[in-house]
Amino acid sequence: MFFLTIRYWDGVILVGIIISLIAIDKFLPGREAINSNMGIYINTAKLLKAKILGDNGKWNSATPIQLTKRAKFEEKLIGFLEMNLVRDWNHLKELIHRL
């Protein structure tokens, strides 16, 4: 698995983001011919943030429980990508909403 958990300060978040980007680049179907997945990264981060913190939440003021929840959600999404359960970007968005 690509996810690495570091249990200090925002290390979980930083490492989780980097590893999530690698998983999206490597495993998201239909993105092979695209040079940049920057829009996917940004929108995935926004969807996760809205799911965990609400529309106006900020990661800098997130509680340890919220940060742990984010790490677990990222780990699940990476697992879905690695197992080829994600059909495309729209399916990934649907999975995020169902977490």
Q: Looking at the domain assignment, is residue 54 inside a domain?
A: yes
Asked if the structure places residue 33 within a domain, the reply is yes
Residue-level pLDDT at 91: 93
Residue 5 is assigned to a structural domain of this protein = no
For residue 83, tell me if it sits in a domain. Answer: yes
As for how many domains the chain has, the answer is 1
Q: For 54, left (φ over 0), alpha (ψ -120 to 50), or beta?
A: left
Q: What is the pLDDT along the chain (99 residues), one digit of tens a residue?
A: 344 444 444 444 444 565 567 778 788 887 766 777 778 888 888 888 889 998 788 888 889 899 889 889 988 988 898 899 999 999 999 999 999
Give Cβ neighbours of residue 86 (< 8 Å, ≥ 6 apart): 27, 28, 29, 80, 92, 95
Q: Does residue 35 lie in a domain region?
A: yes
Is 6 a domain residue? no
Residue 24 lies in a domain: yes
| Structural domain boundaries enclosing 72 | 11-98
In a domain, 2, yes or no: no
Q: Given this model, what pLDDT does residue 94 score? A: 95
